[in-house]
Chains A and B, each alone.
Chain A
Amino acid sequence: ILNVEQSPQSLHVQEGDSTNFTCSFPSSNFYALHWYRWETAKSPEALFVMTLNGDEKKKGRISATLNTKEGYSYLYIKGSQPEDSATYLCALAGGTSYGKLTFGQGTILTVHP
């Protein structure tokens, strides 16, 4: 059974702060690492899919890095805004090639004005 862990569980920051959170996963049988942004009552929104060790991806103020050898990924948000408040989920595609995602428990980010 694959275990994906995210930390911290929740985070409160002030508008303008930069922040980051961690996703840890087993490094064996790795296919891809997904990051999603999930607002309450909406569908999870895909941010990044990362497949290669050393991958760095960026989308506006949000970026992510990947280390498959040690089994972690970081998500960074630069200059947080209140609209960044959401749950950030990471999910591992691993073990099989059929697309099954194993999710972490998420990091709940609250950005205070």
Chain B
Amino acid sequence: EPEVTQTPSHQVTQMGQEVILRCVPISNHLYFYWYRQILGQKVEFLVSFYNNEISEKSEIFDDQFSVERPDGSNFTLKIRSTKLEDSAMYFCASSTVPIGQPQHFGDGTRLSIL
């Protein structure tokens, strides 16, 4: 069964550094998402992406964050100048349509900011 893959599984970075989290969505999916879960908190939405544009973003997704689909398969989340509070599990998801069908999630990238 096709799946969403994320790399790396764990990223440790010094505060202030830039990180890029990578995702390969399911190949026939058109809608892409990033979510994160800070330890002990709810999974929270960051951004949705369709047709090479951001469809919606949360208030968390400020100028520090950006997303890109650099080629036909990858979907990346870049975090510039990381802060301690960016430490979280980041999940990528994809779906065929935005409503009415499940979003398929990757295994996540655990980001640790030191």
Contacts and interface: CB of A to CB of B under 8 A. Distances in A.
A98 B98 contact: yes
Contact of B103 (A31, A99, A102): A99
B42 A105 contact: yes
Q: Contact size class for A?
A: 20 to 34
B65 interface: no
Given A41-B107, A43-B107, A104 B42 contact: yes
A31 B103 CA distance: 14
Interface stretch (A15-23, A44-52, A65-73, A74-82): A44-52
A100 B100 contact: no
A101 B35 contact: yes
A31 B45 contact: no
Contacts, number: 66
B107 A42 contact: yes
Interface residues of B, number: 28
Given A43-B4, A43-B91, A43-B107, A102 B102 contact: no
Contacts of A96: 56
Contacts of B56: 96, 98-100
Contacts of A32: 99-100
A43 B102 contact: no
Interface of A: 31-32, 34, 36, 41-44, 46, 49, 51, 89, 91, 93, 96-106
Given A97-B99, A99-B103, A103-B35, 15 more contacts: A32-B100, A46-B103, A46-B104, A49-B101, A49-B102, A89-B43, A93-B98, A96-B56, A97-B98, A99-B56, A99-B95, A99-B98, A99-B99, A100-B45, A101-B103
